[in-house]
Amino acid sequence: GAVVSQHPSRVICKSGTSVKIECRSLDFQATTMFWYRQFPKKSLMLMATSNEGSKATYEQGVEKDKFLINHASLTLSTLTVTSAHPEDSSFYICSASTGPSASPLHFGNGTRLTVT
Amino acid sequence: AQKVTQAQTEISVVEKEDVTLDCVYETRDTTYYLFWYKQPPSGELVFLIRRNSFDEQNEISGRYSWNFQKSTSSFNFTITASQVVDSAVYFCALSEEKSNTGKLIFGQGTTLQVKP
Local structure of A24: helix, strand or coil: strand
Q: What is the pLDDT of residues A31-89, one digit of tens each?
A: 888 999 998 888 999 999 888 888 899 999 999 999 999 988 889 999 999 999 999 99
Inter-chain CB proximity A101 and B106 less than 8 Å: no
Alpha-carbon torsion (A1, A48, A93, A46), positive or negative: negative
Residue in B43, B103, B107 nearest the CB of A91: B43
Q: What is the pLDDT of residues B78-98, one digit of tens each?
A: 999 999 999 999 999 998 766
Model confidence band, residue A102 (pLDDT cutoffs 50, 70, 90) = very low
Distance from CA of B71 to the nearest CA of A (A): 22
Query: What b/e readout covers A43-65, taking b as 16+ CB neighbours within 10 angstroms?
Result: bbbbbbbbbbeeebbbeeebeee
Inter-chain CB proximity B45 and A99 less than 8 Å: no
Inter-chain CB proximity B91 and A100 less than 8 Å: no
Q: Residue A93 above 70 pLDDT?
A: yes
Distance from CA of B9 to the nearest CA of A (A): 10
Residue in B37, B44, B52 nearest the CB of A109: B44
Q: For chain B, give the mean pLDDT.
A: 92
Question: Which residue does chain A place closest to B44, by CA atoms?
Answer: A109
